[in-house]
Amino acid sequence: DTGVSQNPRHKITKRGQNVTFRCDPISEHNRLYWYRQTLGQGPEFLTYFQNEAQLEKSRLLSDRFSAERPKGSFSTLEIQRTEQGDSAMYLCASSSRPAGGGNEQFFGPGTRLTVL
């Protein structure tokens, strides 16, 4: 088990372009989370999946953002028509147990997005 992996690690794009990030969770973890972190702030929740079902989306997730988790394995986060305000670190985390205790989330290294 190699932990949570994310690709790419860095992405530089021009405003208006679409970008897609990938997250591979720890195997057999049924919950997968996406967070966004900007400079000087803690990570902010974006969305999460239990298996292939997307159960919650934050108000931060505008209609330009879409996430999928086909077959309950890896997940992708797509941002359409990127804006400079989308520049941030995008973090993925996974966990194996329901909420209520013992539900530590394990994070990947993140994808650093820079929108020029």
Q: Which residues bind another protein (CB under 8 A)?
A: 4, 6, 31, 33, 35, 40-45, 48, 55-56, 91, 93, 95, 98-101, 103-110, 112
Give the shortest CB-16-to-another protein separation in angstroms: 27
Give the shortest CB-81-to-another protein separation in angstroms: 26
Q: How far apart are CA 5 and CA 94, in angstroms?
A: 10
- Residue 81, phi then psi, degrees to nearest 5: 50, 60
Q: How far apart are CA 40 and CA 7, in angstroms?
A: 23
Q: Which is nearer to another protein, 80 or 106 (CB)?
A: 106
Q: Which is nearer to another protein, 80 or 107 (CB)?
A: 107
Kindly state the DSSP code that residue 70 receives in the 8-state scheme. G
Comparing CA positions, the residue from 12, 1, 8 lying closest to residue 76 is 8
Q: Which is nearer to another protein, 48 or 79 (CB)?
A: 48
The strand pairing partners of 112, in sequence order, are 10, 89
Q: Which is nearer to another protein, 29 or 80 (CB)?
A: 29
